[in-house]
């Protein structure tokens, strides 16, 4: 490759990296009143390279190594050992040696690939990104660079087209995005600075610079959909439609623009259709089918839920809109539950917590907050002009308990002693949330019900203590 071409690739990369770093820095909480991003030294984010040892990531590694020295940024290479090849150990050692020669910190994780319903290809992808996200969190990395290039983008768009994907899928890969569902971190950015560079340019640059890389034998296995496109479909397209990759990338950019517009419309619709309870289904029903589905996808995405098929989404919309007013609609999604309550839809995120505890005994010694992970929240205790006598409270054997049924609470001297069910109904607390709200007992006396309030029979004082329950996650709307 001529020197001009070499400089062109370096320039393309450094311009892309500069734009990416500026966006990441501007996204961070400002360290001063200045709005200008500091892209060097302490002001620059820690950057990591997803380094497999293949040609693409090897070129990325060397380009980033040169740029990091000029910009003074901290660079680290991250490698994932899938254990799917007999050569995996050799690849890991190759990556370690290359990074040592370049003076770049190296880290590696072994993963176990689950080839379940999605197959080995999807299982390896999910395990790889989860491991990359975990390593980024461990090292305080805020920007992960991957070596995806123009040919990868064309393959992605073709695959999505063959799967019948909508506008979001046909948009292909963004130059940079955040993917907390994939990486497990809502603060981590993933960027692809080589997305507008074709593979032939990378191959030429690697040859001219004497780079060494590994070859993954699975890349020739046509049983994988992407390999089938790369080795059988793409050559035929290239013969009859030269330069088809660039045109597919351009089509993806048009789809990205359309998707951005759809997201803006969805965000406005979500604001108009939401209130303190959740998503107002009467307002949702006033929208056309396409616009309602667009809103529902955006709403689910806001909660980190993976996008369902159009058929699944249609069924969900019909169940939410056509159910009887008192029907207890509960729709199961792999990332959570969608429920209907009092004319509203709410999302209950899926958690990995164990079955809720039934009792937690303790003594109060003046703490302002008592973390209760077994109940999924914190019991907050604050001083107030009127509240429970703190001296009395210190002398009690306290316990947090789950509901068992039949409990009653009197909120004020002039108000009736009512069952918790009646209180929950009056306050509009959804039925599925009620059993998750703990009860506070002093001995065998119920003195506080989370979500409802304190019992009026407790000893009071002018400088007293009041309770509040703070769930670990309380976003349902």
pLDDT tens by residue, 42-74: 556 799 999 999 999 999 999 999 999 988 889
pLDDT tens by residue, 260-313: 999 999 999 999 999 988 999 999 999 999 999 999 999 999 888 888 888 899
- pLDDT of amino acid 475: 44
pLDDT tens by residue, 369-410: 888 877 878 899 998 888 899 999 999 999 889 888 888 888
The rounded distance, in Å, linking the Cα atoms of 127 and 137 is 15
pLDDT tens by residue, 157-186: 999 999 899 999 999 999 999 887 788 888
The rounded distance, in Å, linking the Cα atoms of 287 and 293 is 9
Number of Cβ within a 10 Å radius of residue 320: 22
56 is annotated as contributing to ligand binding: yes
pLDDT tens by residue, 306-348: 888 888 999 999 999 998 877 778 888 888 889 898 889 999 8
Q: Which two tokens stand for residue 286?
A: 């006033």
- pLDDT of amino acid 1: 42
Collapsing DSSP states into helix, strand and coil, what is residue 114?
coil
3-251 placed in CATH 3.40.50.620? yes
377 is annotated as contributing to ligand binding: no
The rounded distance, in Å, linking the Cα atoms of 134 and 194 is 24
55 is annotated as contributing to ligand binding: yes
Q: Which residue stretches of 209-349 are H helix?
A: 225-228, 234-240, 244-273, 281-285, 289-302, 310-322
Angle 225-63-169 (CA atoms, 0-180°, nearest 5)?
30
71 is annotated as contributing to ligand binding: no
The rounded distance, in Å, linking the Cα atoms of 268 and 279 is 13
- φ and ψ of 86, to 5 deg: -65, -15
Number of Cβ within a 10 Å radius of residue 187: 13
Q: Which two tokens stand for residue 241?
A: 């439609």
Cβ(323)–Cβ(339) below 8 Å: no
At residue 474, does pLDDT exceed 60?
no
54 is annotated as contributing to ligand binding: yes
Residues ≥6 apart with Cβ < 8 Å to 362: 370, 398, 399, 400
Q: Which two tokens stand for residue 436?
A: 């998750």
- φ and ψ of 371, to 5 deg: -60, 135
53 is annotated as contributing to ligand binding: yes
pLDDT tens by residue, 96-128: 999 999 999 999 999 988 776 668 888 889 999
Q: Is the pTM higher than 0.85?
A: no
Domain boundaries, given as residue ranges, for the chain: 3-251, 274-349, 359-471
- pLDDT of amino acid 43: 56
At residue 354, does pLDDT exceed 80?
no
The rounded distance, in Å, linking the Cα atoms of 178 and 185 is 8
Cβ(215)–Cβ(54) below 8 Å: yes
Cβ(18)–Cβ(39) below 8 Å: yes
> In angstroms, what CA-CA distances link 285 with 239, 313, 316, 322, 376?
50, 14, 13, 10, 34
* Residue labelled with tokens 């506008």: 167
Can you give the length of the chain in residues? 477
């Amino acid at each position: 490759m001529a020197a001009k071409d070499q400089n062109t690739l370096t320039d393309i990369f450094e311009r892309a990296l500069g734009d990416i770093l500026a966006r990441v820095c501007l996204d961070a909480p400002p360290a001063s009143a200045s709005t200008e991003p500091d892209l060097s030294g302490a002001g620059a984010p820690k950057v990591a390279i997803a380094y497999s040892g293949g040609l693409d990531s090897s070129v990325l590694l060397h380009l980033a190594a040169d740029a990091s020295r000029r910009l003074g940024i901290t660079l680290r290479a991250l490698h994932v050992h899938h254990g799917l090849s007999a050569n995996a150990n050799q690849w890991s050692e190759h990556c370690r040696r290359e990074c040592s020669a370049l003076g770049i910190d190296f880290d590696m994780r072994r993963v176990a690939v689950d080839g379940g319903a999605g197959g080995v290809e999807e299982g390896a992808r999910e395990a790889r990104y989860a491991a990359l996200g975990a390593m980024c969190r461990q090292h305080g990395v805020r920007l992960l660079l991957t070596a995806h290039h123009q040919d990868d983008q064309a393959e992605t768009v073709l695959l999505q087209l063959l799967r019948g994907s909508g506008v979001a899928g046909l948009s292909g890969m963004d130059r940079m995005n955040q993917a907390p569902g994939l990486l497990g971190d809502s603060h981590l950015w993933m960027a692809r600075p080589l997305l507008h560079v074709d593979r032939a340019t990378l191959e030429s640059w690697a040859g001219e610079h004497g780079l060494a890389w590994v070859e993954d034998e699975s890349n020739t296995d046509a049983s994988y959909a992407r390999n089938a496109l790369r080795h059988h479909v793409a050559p035929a397209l290239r013969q009859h439609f030269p330069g088809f990759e660039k045109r597919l990338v351009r089509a993806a950019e048009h789809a990205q623009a359309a998707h951005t517009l759809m997201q803006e419309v969805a965000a406005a619709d979500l604001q108009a259709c939401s209130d303190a309870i959740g998503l107002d289904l009467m307002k949702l029903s006033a929208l056309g089918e396409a616009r309602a589905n667009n809103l529902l996808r955006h709403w689910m995405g806001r909660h980190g839920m993976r996008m369902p098929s159009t058929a699944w989404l249609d069924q969900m919309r019909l169940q939410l809109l056509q159910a009887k007013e008192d029907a207890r609609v509960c729709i199961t999604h792999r990332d959570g539950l969608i429920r209907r309550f009092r004319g509203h839809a709410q999302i209950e995120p899926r958690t990995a917590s164990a079955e809720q505890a039934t009792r937690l005994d303790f003594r109060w010694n003046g703490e302002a907050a008592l973390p209760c992970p077994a109940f999924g929240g914190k019991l907050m205790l604050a001083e107030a002009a009127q509240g429970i006598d703190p001296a009395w409270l210190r002398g009690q054997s306290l316990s947090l308990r789950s509901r068992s049924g039949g409990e009653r609470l009197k909120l004020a001297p002039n108000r009736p002693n009512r069952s918790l069910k009646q209180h929950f109904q009056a306050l509009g607390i959804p039925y599925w949330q009620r059993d998750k709200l703990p009860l506070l007992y002093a001995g065998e006396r119920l003195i506080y019900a989370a979500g409802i309030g304190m019992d009026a029979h407790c000893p009071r004082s002018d400088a007293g203590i009041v309770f509040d329950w703070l769930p670990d996650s309380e976003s349902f709307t």
